[in-house]
């Protein structure tokens, strides 16, 4: 089971009782450009889980993002103590020393999130600088450009993504991170897990719709077979 830490705010932890869930309206024009309007209660920022060890007890991996760090951090730490993969989708600008980063085994930024966090335009340089703050596996996605990742020698490597005709990229990042966490649970090494995740995101982008357009496992496997 892959535990989505942020979704547990409203589903399995009583600390969220009486707090409204966040909601977004997403508008997509004919060119695929998006405008997103989001409402969320400020009370969400202060929530902490009542029993993070219970929430993480049955998880084979934890997937979190850094929108609600006060809630995610105790869950990530509990999972890390158990030795299961803890994957952070770092899409929101943060301070490099944020303790959430050191509570994760794998941190994958969006290009925008990494640039804003480090104040550096060059993604390879930003990734290398960020490595001083954590021992986690580090990578950054950049749309149709290759995924950059840092190896154990501090070298920055490239993982090409798949060429497709993109129809809608909404939720591609979420699907990438979810597929990556799944692949880690199945025992794949991080680089192979990223290739699987890139394939899942590519299939999603070939059709309209957000997470509802997420591919099945069979679709991803077929795509990878044809991709070679």
Residue 118: C-alpha distances to residues 80, 110, 121 (Å): 25, 12, 8
pLDDT value of residue 96: 92
Residue in the block written with tokens 């069979």 = 218
Q: What is the mean pLDDT of each run of 10 residues along the chain (228 residues)?
A: 60 59 72 70 78 94 92 95 97 93 97 96 96 94 97 95 92 95 97 98 92 93 92
Alpha carbon distance 160, 158 (integer Å): 6
- Read off the pTM: 0.86
Cα torsion 213, 110, 72, 185: sign: positive
- List the domain range (segments joined by +) for residue 119: 2-227
Report the domain count for the chain. Answer: 1
Of 153, 145, 136, 73, the residue nearest 110 (C-alpha): 145
Alpha carbon distance 198, 224 (integer Å): 10
**55 with 3: CB under 8 angstroms?**
yes
What CATH number does the domain containing 14 carry? 3.40.1190.20
Of 167, 183, 185, 171, the residue nearest 220 (C-alpha): 183
pLDDT value of residue 16: 60
**97 with 116: CB under 8 angstroms?**
no
């Amino acid at each position: 089971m892959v535990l989505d830490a942020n979704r547990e705010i409203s589903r399995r932890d009583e600390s969220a009782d009486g707090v409204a869930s966040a909601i977004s309206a997403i508008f997509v024009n004919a060119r695929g450009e998006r405008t997103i309007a989001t409402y969320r209660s400020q009370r969400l920022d202060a929530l902490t889980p009542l029993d993070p060890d219970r929430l993480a007890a049955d998880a084979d991996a934890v997937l979190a993002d850094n929108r609600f760090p006060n809630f995610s951090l105790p869950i990530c730490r509990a999972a890390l103590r158990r030795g299961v993969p803890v994957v952070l989708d770092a899409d929101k600008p943060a301070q490099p020393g944020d303790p959430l980063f050191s509570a994760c085994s794998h941190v994958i930024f969006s290009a925008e999130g990494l640039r804003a966090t480090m104040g550096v335009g060059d993604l390879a340089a930003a990734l290398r600088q960020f490595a001083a703050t954590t021992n986690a596996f580090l990578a950054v996605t950049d749309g149709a450009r290759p995924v950059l990742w840092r190896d154990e020698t501090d070298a920055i490597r490239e993982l090409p993504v798949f060429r497709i005709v993109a129809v809608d990229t909404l939720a591609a990042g979420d699907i990438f991170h979810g597929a990556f966490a799944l692949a880690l649970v199945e025992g794949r090494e991080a680089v192979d897990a990223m290739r699987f995740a890139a394939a899942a995101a590519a299939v999603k982008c070939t059709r309209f719709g957000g997470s509802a357009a997420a591919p099945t496992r069979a679709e991803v496997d077929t795509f990878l077979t044809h991709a070679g």
